[in-house]
Structure 1
C-alpha cells in the first residue's frame, strides 16, 4: 500500500516537472527554426568510405589514418609502440646472434667470448630465450600495427556518429487492461 503511494507521488512529481519543462520550451519563440538553422550549419554529409579510407591510410603508413581523422596526438603513440617493438627485436636479435656464435665456436673447438663462465647448456638456453623474445617482439610490432589500423577505422566511424541534443526523459504510466492495474515508469525517448 505504501509503495503505491510512493510511486503515485513520484509519478506526480515527474509529471509536474515534465509539464513545467514543456511550458518553458513553448515560451521560446521560433526555437524549431533556430535549431534547424544551427543544425544545417553543423551538418556534415555522411561519408560511408571515410572509415575505409582511414584504415587504408593507416595500413599504408602508420599514423596517416589518424592524421586523416584529425587526431594528430595519436600519431606519436603509434610510432612509440612500433619503436619499442623494433628496439626490443633488434636488441634480442643481437643477443641471440651473440650466444649462437659463442655456441658455434664452442662446438668447433674454438675459444668463445664467454670462456668457462657459461656452460654449453646455458648457451642453448640463452639462444632459446632470446629467440622467444624476438618472436614476442614481432608480435608486439604486428599488434601495434593492427591496433593502429583499427583505431583509425573506429575513430572515423565515431566521428560520423550523430549525437543529437534532442533526448528526453519522460515519466509514463501504462494501464494494463488484463489485470486492471497501472504501471509506472520512466522512458528515455530519442528523436531521429
Structure 2
C-alpha cells in the first residue's frame, strides 16, 4: 500500500517537474519572441538623455512626448529670466555702492543709504545664485525625464497578467499544498 502510494506520488511529482520544465522552456521562447517582435533597443534611454543634454527638449521629442517641450522651456526660461534680472539688479546696486564709496552721490538710488545698498546687493546676489541652481536643476531634470521616459516606453503593458491557483506536493510530507501564483508574461 505504502509502496504503491509512494510510486504514484513519485510519478506525479516527476510528471509535474517535466510539465514545469516544458512550460518554462515555452515561456522562455515566448519571452525571446516578444523581445524580437517589440524591437526593444537598450540604448534608447541613453540616446534620449544625450539628445536632451545637447538641446533641452530634444529628448522629449525623440520619445514623442511633444507636450513636455513647452514645460521644459518654460521652466528653464523662467529660471533664466530671473537669473538675468537678479544679476542686472545686483550689478546696479553694486555699481551705485562703489560710486558712493568714491564720493559720488548722483546715482538713481540717492534715496537709499549705504546699508540699504549693501542689503539690496546681498538680496539680488542670493536670488541670482538660487536662480542659477534652478536653471541647472531644470536642465538636469530635463535629461533625467527623457532617460526615464525612454526606458518606460519599452515596457510591454498588455492583458497577459494572470492569477492561477496551483496544487503541488510538499517535498517533505508529500501532502498537497494549495497556492496562488501571480504570473506576468513579458
Please, what TM-score do these two structures have when normalized by structure 2? 0.72
Distance 1:132 1:181, change over 3 A: farther
Q: Deviations over 1:16-45 (max 9, x none)?
A: xxxxxxxxxxxxxxxxxxxx9xx98x9331
Look up the match of 2:73. Answer: 79
CA RMSD, 1 decimal? 2.6
Measure the CA separation in 2 of the matches of 1:124 and 1:179.
83
Query: CA 1:174 to 1:141, structure 2 compared with 1: closer, same or farther past 3 Å?
Result: same
| Map of 1:113 onto structure 2 | 108
Alignment match of 2:44 (pick from 40, 46, 50): 50
CA distance in 1, matches of 2:168, 2:113: 82
1:111-149: CA deviation from partner (whole Å, max 9, x where unpaired): 12222x322112111111111111111111111111111
Partner of residue 89, structure 1? 83
Count of aligned positions: 153
1:162 is the counterpart of 2:145: no
TM-score (ref. length: structure 1):
0.70
Residue ranges of structure 1 left out of the alignment (5+ in a row):
1-35
Please say if 1:146 is aligned against 2:146: no
Deviation at 1:191, TM superposition (A): 2.6
Q: Aligned to 1:43, what secondary structure does the other structure show?
A: helix
